[in-house]
Structure formats: C-alpha cells, structure tokens
Structure 1
Amino acid sequence: MPDDAVRAQPPSKYDKLIEAVRSVPPVPTIVVHPCDQTSLRGAVESARAGIIEPILVGPASKIKEVAGQHGLDISKYEIVDAEHSDEAAAKGVDLIRAAKGEMLMKGSLHTDELMRAVTAKDGGLRTDRRISHVFVMDVPAYKETLFVTDAAINIFPDLNAKRDIIQNAIDLYNQAGFGTMPRVAILSAVETVTTKIPSTIDAAALCKMADRGQIVGAVLDGPLAFDNAIDPEAAKIKGIKSEVAGSAQILVVPDLEAGNMLAKNLAYFAKADGAGIVLGARVPIVLTSRADTPRARMASCAVAALYANARRRHAPTVAG
C-alpha cells in the first residue's frame, strides 16, 4: 500500500508503529509461499514502506504469475524456488538458520505447515523458550494497544508454558517500543482463587512466580475477569485495587479457545485490527490472515521489525 494510502485512513494506534519502524533499517525477511494476492501484496507493500527486505520462497512460476495478475512489481526481490508449500517452509527455515533473514513471514500456506518446519527437532528454530503467539490489537474503544496471548499456538498450556507465554509477550512489549513494565492481566471467569476453576490457581501461581523473579519486566495481577481487567469502574465496583486492574495492556488467556474467541470478538464486535506475531523462536514470525486489513498486515511486519531490530543489538547472529 502506498504511504499516502496509509495516511488517508482514519487515525490508528498502528500509525505510531508504522512511523516508528521508519527509523530502523529494513529487516531481511524470508516470506514463505506468497502464492496469492493477499500474502504477496502484504510483502511487497511492507517492502515499499521500508519495513522489510523480502526474499520470496515458493514456486517461482506461481509467484511471478500472481504478481503479473495483480500488478505487483517483484523484480527487485530474490526468489528461492520451492516446489510446494512444505518445501517452501523447510527452505525458509534453512535460510533463517543460514543467517539470510532476521524475520520469517507466513504466505498463503497453512499455519501448521509453517510451524511444523519451525518446531522441527532437527533443523528447526526452537529455543529454550516455549513458542507462543501474540495478537497486538488496536481496539478503537480502548486507550491502550492491547496484547492478547496465546490465541493461536498453545491449545491448553500448563503453568510452565504460561510462564513462557507471558515472558514472550512482556519482552515484545518492552523491546518493540510500546513502553516499559507493562500491566499484565491473567484472565479467568472470576477474580477470586477457587479450586473449581483451575485457571484461577494458575493465575495466582504466576503472580507469585513474578514476585520471585521467575517472570520479569512487568506488573502482573490475576486472576481477573475480563471486565475488571480493562474497565476501571468494574474493578472499583468489585473492590479490586491494583496497578493492573482496569487498565491492562497484556491479556493472558487460560487457553487457545478462550483467546481465539476473545480476539475474534474484539475484531468483529469492537472493529479491532489484530497484528499477529509468533515469539520464542530464533526469529520473530509474522502470521497474517486473509481477513487482515492492509494496515494490520503492515502493522504485523512493523511490530516484528521493531522487535527484530532490538534483538539485533543483543544477538548478532541466528545461524545454527
């Protein structure tokens, strides 16, 4: 999307992200299987905006065909030929391991195809940290940029997985320029601890883990119900006094089902945009959807690029 098209849209919290990323060098990005208009256009527009330097991995003839059909100029970009989506995912991961890119971007293949290559025990991109997903959401009715995690990768995370999910989101918040010491609400159906709802016990344990330095860089509170996590009046009525209640910036859901429904409710009822990024691998991974708006697709790249730039300062290579 041309820069003037971005500016022509109504003001968005994403505008700050897109503007901030202009101050950092474009990030070399491996785009896996961009074989439809949406995924290829997202890569091309992010490149034109100076956010990424793409390497396109997939069936070369198909990529060129899509580009020709939709008037997308890809003449400047390297294409690595791969016969099909599984091969494209494997080659994309290999390119990351060879230090040819600092970000991975999903094209028109299924998420599980890409993540299968990312999480492979031999030749994948695993680290000691659990891999998780964050929706970075621009909710028009909410003053803060809102993180929702994990709504796409971990189905029923246990306590240790939740610790990593939370730490991944905190690190993204602190390092990608959103601010420092985010307010993290660990969600459940109620705000009191009860054995009848296991997620409330996990929430209490996670808060104590933060007290003991097992989770760092944020202020945690939980369990909190959704209303008293994001609405000051609801928190006041319930008598909850904390730095987090009523003004959370990161929402940690009990499981993928709850997170997926929450994110989609925000998208369709509250008209929120949701940028998607996967964390905990050797490099940030941009997950886009065919339903994403052009600005949300660009925001996903911007968030990942800001994070990759911060990581670059601390980790000079990702070669394995």
Structure 2
Amino acid sequence: MRELVERAIQAGPGRVVVPGAEAESALDAAVEARRRGLAEPLLLGAAAAIRAGLAAAGEAPDAWAIEDVRDPAQAARRAVERVRAGEAEIILKGGLSTGELMRAVLDRERGLRAGRLVSDVLVTQAGVGEPRLLGVTDGGVNVAPTLAEKRAILENAVEVFHRLGVARPRVAALCALETVSPAMPHTAEAAELAALSARGELPGCEVFGPVALDGALSVEAARHKGLTHPAAGQADLLLVPAIEVGNALGKAFTWLAARPVAHVVWGALAPVLIPSRAEGAMDKLCSMALGVLVARGGR
C-alpha cells in the first residue's frame, strides 16, 4: 500500500472534493495528502469546525479552499456539482453516510451516472510479505447482485486493477464450497462466470469458481482440496456473492488483521471514495491514492 501512495504522488496531486470535511479522520487525511503532494483538497462542511481543525493541525486555514455547507445531503450534491463543473476529479466521503453521498452521485438528472452499474472495490495488501494487492468487490454498493450485475461488478474491478498495473488479474468467485449445489444458487452463478472467462467472454482477467476463501488465497489449501485451476490459491480479486460478505471481509482486514485498506466506487464519471467513517486517516489517505491512480488511468 505504501507503493500505491508513492505511485499516486508521482502522478501529481489529485483534485479531491471532501463533503463532510469537518470529520476528524477525513480532515487529517486531507492535511496529510496535501503535505505529501498527493491531493489538492476542496473541503465542504461546517466551515468553522474545518478551520479550527486545520489550525489545530498547524495549517493556515486561509490557504485552503473551504465551502461552508452544513447539511450533509447538500454537501453531497455540492461535491457532485464540483465534479460536473470540472473543478474536482475525485470525491472522498467525509462525515456523512455512504447512502447520502451515493444518492447524489446516482441522481438521474444531476449525478455522475455513466450508463453502467457502479460498484465498490476494496484494495489491501495481499498478505504479510506479499508484494501485491488484493481486491474485494462489492462490499459497499450492490446489495444482492444478479448474475448480470455480478458480471458488471467484475468488469469494474478488473478495470480498476488494470489501472493499478495488473494486466490480467486472477478473480475468485467466492462461495461456501467448490462445487455447484442446487441449494446454493451463488455456486451456479460462480460457475457460469468461470465458464464465460474460459470461453474468452470476460477479457483481461482469469475467473475461477465457485471457490471458498481458503482455496482462493492459499496454494496449500487449494492443493489439499484438489483444486486444479492454475489460479487457485493465488487470487488478486475476490468477487463476493452479496454485500454482507464483502462488507465483513473489508472490516476484518481493518479490525482483525490491522491492514490498511482503500476503497473506490467505479463505474461513474469520476472515482468516488467511500471509506467507513470508522476508518482512520491512513486508510482515507490510501483511498485518495487509489482514486488518483484510477482517475488518471494508472499513469
């Protein structure tokens, strides 16, 4: 994840608008991002609280772009307006709910719809000592995706990984077991996605499944289970069957494994960053780095 931040800094500061910027972790992340040359933030929220927070961090508030917008829904709409006007290229959620922000992003008349499904991609370090990234999708936007929606979610995540420099990500279609079971419809959909990939209908990636988490991430577990797919145990992306699975996995990385994480919602006209409000400033900094690389096409 450190390399992710360094690559984003080399790409040049991103124009990041932060609705609800009075939230402590969001403001701390904005300050750190500006100091590192990662972002040039535009702060939307309770101006007095934002200015006080900046001063407490040793910053000169007058040197920052601040807009006094106290209503969370209005702040979300204003952030979208700034992107539509070309004044910002990335949105970072501050102290407002994901629902409030996404309602503004997905507004059919004044939002950032691009004619396709939007979905959340979480990115973290694959494991201790492993110099690669691991993605999880979708634990933040789509609640119970259909097979067609899972395909769109997969395509969004693959595009994100392409922009991160992973030319052909290995995608594990997660389920509770490795065989198709009539009692578990997700297993049949995972098998169908793997078949589409085998036929070349999902370009730019390699999909295998259905597969449980251990068979997706551990070569040893995959061997014990007799999994023969060449990507078994080496997944770059975990495609989850429902939002609860992705949400729990993401929070487990933070609260059980103490790993830094980054989130990006992709499929709209601009990257939208929706870290949990409970995540710290470093995770929000990583999300900004991810947003910069996605916005710039990985350059």
SS of 2:31's partner is helix
| Counterpart contact for 1:273–1:292, Cα < 8 Å | no
Once the two structures are superposed, the pairs formed by residues 1-320 of structure 1 within 5 Å of their partners are 14-141=1-128, 143=130, 144-177=132-165, 179-310=166-297
| Counterpart contact for 1:188–1:253, Cα < 8 Å | yes
**Counterparts of 2:57 and 2:24 in 1: how far apart (Å)?**
7
Paired positions, count: 298
Deviation string for 1:45-84 (max 9, x for gaps)? 1121111111112232332233234444443222233241
Per the TM alignment, residue 274 of structure 1 is displaced from its structure 2 partner at its CA by 1.6
Q: Structure 1 residues 74 and 278, CA, compared in 2 at 3 Å: closer, same or farther?
A: farther
Further displaced range: 143-152 or 59-68: 59-68
Q: Where in structure 1 do 4 or more consecutive aligned residues deviate above 6 Å?
A: none
The letter of the residue matching 1:104 is: I
**Counterparts of 2:61 and 2:235 in 1: how far apart (Å)?**
41
SS of 2:116's partner is coil
Give the superposed CA RMSD. 1.8
**Counterparts of 1:125 and 1:266 in 2: how far apart (Å)?**
30
Partner of 1:9: none
Further displaced range: 208-217 or 221-230: 208-217
- Give unpaired runs (5+ residues) of structure 1: 1-13, 314-320
TM-score normalised per structure 2: 0.93
Per the TM alignment, residue 94 of structure 1 is displaced from its structure 2 partner at its CA by 0.8
- Give unpaired runs (5+ residues) of structure 2: none
Deviation string for 1:101-159 (max 9, x for gaps)? 11111111111111110011111111222111111112543723210111111111111
Identity of counterpart residues, as a percentage? 36
TM-score normalised per structure 1: 0.87
**Counterparts of 2:255 and 2:126 in 1: how far apart (Å)?**
11
The letter of the residue matching 2:107 is: A
**Counterparts of 1:120 and 1:298 in 2: how far apart (Å)?**
27
Q: Structure 1 residues 224 and 73, CA, compared in 2 at 3 Å: closer, same or farther?
A: farther
| Counterpart contact for 2:29–2:282, Cα < 8 Å | no
Q: Structure 1 residues 309 and 141, CA, compared in 2 at 3 Å: closer, same or farther?
A: same
